[in-house]
């Protein structure tokens, strides 16, 4: 059976996820943190496919959710409330009341949310999300910066939120932070971790420090990985110092999403047209912004291959399936000679793919399939 014929049973566009790759990514991350009292909270917003979530649960993972709908989803999958962390913004009293009743760990984003929660309950423990103010230089390939962000509570407001909590006999038991997305260099993460650790030392009832994530995935190389070991040791050292200072075990939490599921997913699309331009060709495929929004939303890079063909020589733009002039999956790619009905493979598509699909403009959304291994197909 030829390589192309292996895929003829799938209707394109289709996301395909690999259990083996998902497991390998999770275990690599887990092994990189030499700290016993640790939780990996998979960020559900990256990929909320039920099969993916079931695999995360089988691997012993916890989850980070950002909405009440995500909370209901992970409960249906079977995650215990002790394995759920909830971080969002702009929560009203009804949402806070619901979350209090659910008993999941909260990280609040503002003084106003702290005030509302403390009006609703007493003797309750919650975490806060910190606004990152340190001037941390990020690599050019990051996709979402903290610069000028209004997310989180500022360091100068720590005393105020502590006082509000104390008046309601509540405790601030955790500190949460997030720097940016797709960070490829360890230095910004280390500086961020140092700042977050200093912030965490301000809270006498501290039980956990949540470093968020942002660990990057390299575009053009399938074998190159973020240096998890360096960050794992650094975050562990910060948390160990806090444990020593407070004379109790402080829990280390991280919220990786894309670094777990990106390379565990590929997106297959069919070539529908080839247009000759002045100095290159434009390939149209049957998926675009409505099925895979990440390239246009973040100007993000994704490795593209042609199924069954190697040794690129032709100059192409890979055009997405909308009339939006800026909707491209990739520009200026050198690929093998492409023909209509060929299948292109878009790599690192397991995160922020189907979860963001809208079907715009009136197109069929991609299907999703979970398999054991990409080796069964590629």
Domain boundaries, the chain: 3-15+263-376, 32-261
Write down the pLDDT at residue 1: 35
Place of tokens 């140092």: 194
Q: Measured between alpha carbons, how far is residue 342 from residues 131, 252, 261, 306, 335 in Å?
A: 47, 47, 26, 7, 12
Residue 134 has pLDDT above 50, yes or no: yes
Would you call 186 helix, strand, or coil by DSSP? helix
Which is nearest to 348 in space by CA: 42, 32, 18, 26? 18
Task: Give pLDDT tens digits for 248-293.
Answer: 999 999 999 999 999 999 999 999 999 999 999 999 999 999 999 9
Query: Which residues is 92 bridged to in the sheet?
Result: none
CATH number 3.20.20.10 is the correct assignment for the domain at 32-261: yes
Share above pLDDT 90 across residues of the chain, in percent, rounded to a whole number:
82
Helix, strand, coil fractions of the chain, as percent rounded to 5:
35, 25, 45
Question: Greater confidence, 40 or 219?
Answer: 40
Residue 6 has pLDDT above 50, yes or no: yes
Q: Phi then psi for 200, rounded to 5 degrees?
A: -65, -30
Task: Provide mean pLDDT across the span 345-356.
Answer: 96
Query: Which residues is 62 bridged to in the sheet?
Result: 41
CB 172 within 8 A of CB 161: yes
Which is nearest to 39 in space by CA: 51, 24, 54, 56? 56
Task: Give pLDDT tens digits for 76-124.
Answer: 999 999 999 999 999 999 999 999 999 999 999 999 999 999 999 999 9
CB 217 within 8 A of CB 348: yes
CATH number 2.60.40.10 is the correct assignment for the domain at 3-15+263-376: no
Task: Give the predicted TM-score (pTM) of the model.
Answer: 0.94
């Amino acid at each position: 059976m030829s390589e192309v014929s292996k895929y003829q049973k799938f209707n394109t566009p289709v996301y395909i996820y690999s259990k083996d790759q998902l497991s390998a990514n999770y275990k690599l991350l887990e092994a990189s943190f030499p700290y016993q009292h640790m939780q990996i909270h998979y960020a559900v917003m990256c990929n909320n496919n039920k099969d993916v979530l079931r695999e995360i649960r089988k691997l012993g993972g916890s989850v980070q959710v950002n909405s009440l709908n995500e909370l209901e989803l992970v409960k249906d999958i079977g995650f215990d409330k002790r394995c759920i962390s909830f971080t969002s913004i702009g929560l009203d009293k009804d949402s806070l009341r619901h979350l209090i009743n659910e008993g999941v760990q909260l990280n609040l984003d503002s003084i106003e949310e702290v005030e509302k929660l403390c009006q609703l309950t007493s003797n309750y423990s919650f975490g806060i999300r910190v606004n990152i103010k340190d001037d941390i230089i990020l690599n050019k390939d990051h996709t979402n910066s903290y610069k000028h962000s209004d997310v989180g509570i500022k360091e100068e407001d720590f005393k105020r939120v502590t006082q509000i909590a104390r008046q309601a006999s509540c405790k601030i038991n955790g500190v949460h932070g997030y720097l940016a997305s797709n960070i490829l260099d360890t230095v910004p993460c280390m500086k961020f971790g140092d700042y977050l650790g200093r912030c965490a030392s301000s809270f006498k009832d501290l039980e956990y420090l949540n470093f968020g994530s942002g660990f990057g995935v390299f575009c053009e190389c399938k074998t190159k990985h973020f240096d998890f070991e360096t960050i794992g040791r650094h975050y562990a050292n910060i948390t160990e110092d806090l444990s020593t200072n407070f004379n109790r075990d402080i829990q280390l939490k991280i919220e990786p999403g894309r670094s777990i599921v990106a390379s565990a997913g590929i997106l297959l699309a069919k070539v529908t047209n080839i247009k000759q331009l002045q100095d290159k060709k434009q390939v149209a495929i049957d998926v675009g912004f409505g099925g895979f929004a990440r390239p246009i939303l973040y100007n993000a890079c994704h490795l593209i291959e042609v199924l069954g063909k190697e040794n690129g020589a032709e100059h192409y733009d890979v055009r997405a399936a909308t009339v939006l002039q800026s909707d491209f999956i990739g520009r200026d790619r050198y690929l093998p000679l492409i023909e209509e009905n060929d299948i292109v493979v878009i790599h690192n598509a397991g995160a922020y793919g189907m979860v963001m699909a809208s079907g715009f403009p009136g197109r069929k959304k991609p299907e999703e399939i979970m398999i054991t291994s990409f080796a069964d197909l590629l």
